[in-house]
């Protein structure tokens, strides 16, 4: 029941926001002090072109986990409207050119998976604990299974 509802909410959010990952958990301190580890961000993905200052999540080829950083440079090509975007973490010393694929200087529109619009602190800590300590996950699943078996309905 709970799992079904969670999945419905997730898919529903995906439809409304147009982003494949409508909620992301901040995993690193690269956006501190704005966003800390364990905070969650709500993302959308609209057709409007990206502008400087926005906080976007993007995927780099060969990396599974998207990065959430701020856009510091935008070049929009005449006629085609194609975008070249450069990002940087607020708390990082240098821009993200070093994080991109070798030889890649800019992010294109298709790299970007979401644009942040909302924020909640601490809520993502559960996810971080579970992913970094698989034992907790097994204990949780075991406890839930026990509850289901022993409950009298």
Question: Which residues have a catalytic role annotated?
Answer: 30, 69, 96
Query: According to CB under 8 A, which one of 47, 53, 61, 64 is a site residue for another protein?
Result: 53
**Nearer residue to another protein within complex by CB, 12 or 34:** 34
Minimum CB distance to another protein, residue 35 (Å): 8
| Half-sphere exposure for 98 (CA within 13 Å, toward CB) | 6
Query: According to CB under 8 A, which one of 13, 27, 84, 127 is a site residue for another protein?
Result: 84
Closest-CA residue to 97 (of 72, 115, 114, 66): 72
Q: How far apart are the first and last CA of the chain?
A: 14
Which of the ranges 56-64, 69-77, 124-132, 138-146 carries the binding residues for another protein, by CB under 8 A? 69-77
Which of the ranges 1-9, 58-66, 118-126, 137-145 carries the binding residues for another protein, by CB under 8 A? 118-126
Quote the distance between the C-alpha of residue 153 and its chain's center: 38
**Nearer residue to another protein within complex by CB, 33 or 134:** 33
3-state secondary structure of 145: helix
Compute the distance between CA of residue 101 and CA of residue 103 in angstroms, rounded to an integer. 6
Query: According to CB under 8 A, which one of 55, 67, 68, 112 is a site residue for another protein?
Result: 55
- Name the phi and psi angles at 150, rounded to 5: -85, -15
- Name the phi and psi angles at 110, rounded to 5: -75, -15
Note the residues at the interface with another protein (CB under 8 A).
33-35, 51-55, 70, 72-79, 81, 84, 90, 95, 116-121
């Amino acid at each position: 029941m709970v799992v079904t509802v969670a999945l419905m909410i997730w898919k529903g959010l995906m439809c409304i926001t147009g982003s494949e990952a409508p909620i992301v958990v901040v995993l690193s301190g690269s956006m501190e002090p704005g966003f800390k580890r364990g905070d969650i961000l709500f993302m959308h993905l609209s057709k409007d072109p990206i502008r400087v200052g926005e906080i976007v999540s993007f995927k780099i080829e060969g990396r599974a986990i998207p990065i959430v950083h701020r856009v510091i440079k935008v070049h929009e090509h005449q006629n085609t409207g194609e975008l070249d975007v450069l990002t940087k973490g607020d708390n990082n010393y240098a821009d993200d050119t070093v994080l991109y694929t070798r030889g890649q200087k800019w992010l294109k529109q298709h790299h970007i998976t979401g644009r942040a619009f909302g924020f909640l602190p601490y809520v993502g800590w559960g996810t971080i604990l579970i992913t970094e300590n698989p034992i907790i996950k097994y204990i949780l699943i075991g406890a839930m299974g026990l509850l289901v078996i022993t409950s009298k309905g």
